[in-house]
């Protein structure tokens, strides 16, 4: 995998992690209830679950690519369409649930172990995570993926997720940054959804051009 392809993969991983949703709500809640350490514990546990999804997805797609290139092309097309759908649906409807969770549960105590379990399970039990992984990896997996490439892709998703949510935990533990997050949440969400929709559309166009030139 060259540097440009890896940067594209990293960028979409970051967009996926930054998108507001149940994962962000849990990290915010854990940090508010038990402080920075609990938030970081939840963030790392969340990344571990994401890593599990990523490893299973990339290995499964690599096998599908080897056994059925036609099926893999269909998965690529569906994946790009899913990214486009995520962006467009996010633009149509935005719910500030993450910050609402934070305000509603800030006074409830919570242990580190509970934070770890909540961070892990909110990712593991979210079916959209699996769909996002299929959509993502199907766009970047090379024709003959080596084990090293699969490991790199999995590590990129996992470390990006851990880095972003750790940053969230650090920021939320500082009142000034929490206020900024709350006041700009809607704008950030809309920008991220525009980027996701644009990337999905660009991927569909690229696949269409490939099909026409084949």
pLDDT digits (tens, 9 = 90+) for 195-207: 768 877 887 887 7
- pTM of full prediction above 0.85: no
pLDDT value of position 207: 77
| Residue 58 near residue 151 (C-beta atoms within 8 A) | no
Q: Please tell me the distance from the alpha carbon of residue 96 to that of residue 187, in angstroms, as a whole number.
A: 11
Burial of 164 by CB count in 10 Å (0-12 exposed, 13-18 middle, 19+ buried)?
A: buried
Sheet strands (E) in 23-172? none
Question: Tens of pLDDT along 138-154?
Answer: 888 877 778 898 899 99
| Residue 75 near residue 64 (C-beta atoms within 8 A) | yes
Q: Strand, helix or coil at 20?
A: coil
Q: Where are the domains of the chain?
A: 3-213
């Amino acid at each position: 995998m060259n540097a440009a392809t890896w940067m594209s993969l990293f960028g979409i991983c970051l967009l996926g992690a930054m998108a507001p949703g149940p994962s962000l709500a849990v990290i915010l809640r854990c940090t508010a209830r038990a402080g920075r350490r609990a938030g970081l514990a939840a963030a790392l546990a969340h990344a571990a679950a994401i890593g599990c999804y990523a490893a299973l997805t990339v290995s499964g797609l690599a096998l599908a690519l080897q056994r059925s290139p036609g099926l893999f092309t269909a998965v690529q097309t569906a994946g790009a369409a899913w990214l486009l759908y995520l962006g467009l649906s996010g633009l149509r409807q935005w719910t500030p649930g993450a910050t609402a969770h934070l305000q509603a549960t800030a006074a409830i105590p919570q242990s580190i172990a509970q934070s770890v379990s909540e961070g892990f399970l909110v990712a593991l039990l979210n079916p959209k995570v699996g769909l996002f992984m299929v959509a993502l990896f199907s766009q970047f997996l090379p024709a003959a993926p080596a084990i090293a490439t699969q490991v790199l892709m999995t590590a990129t998703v996992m470390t990006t997720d851990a880095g972003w949510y750790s940053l969230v935990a650090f920021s939320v533990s500082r009142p000034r940054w929490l206020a900024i997050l709350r006041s700009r949440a809607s704008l950030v969400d809309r920008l991220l959804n525009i980027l996701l929709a644009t990337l999905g559309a660009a991927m569909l166009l690229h696949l269409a051009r490939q099909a026409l030139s084949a």
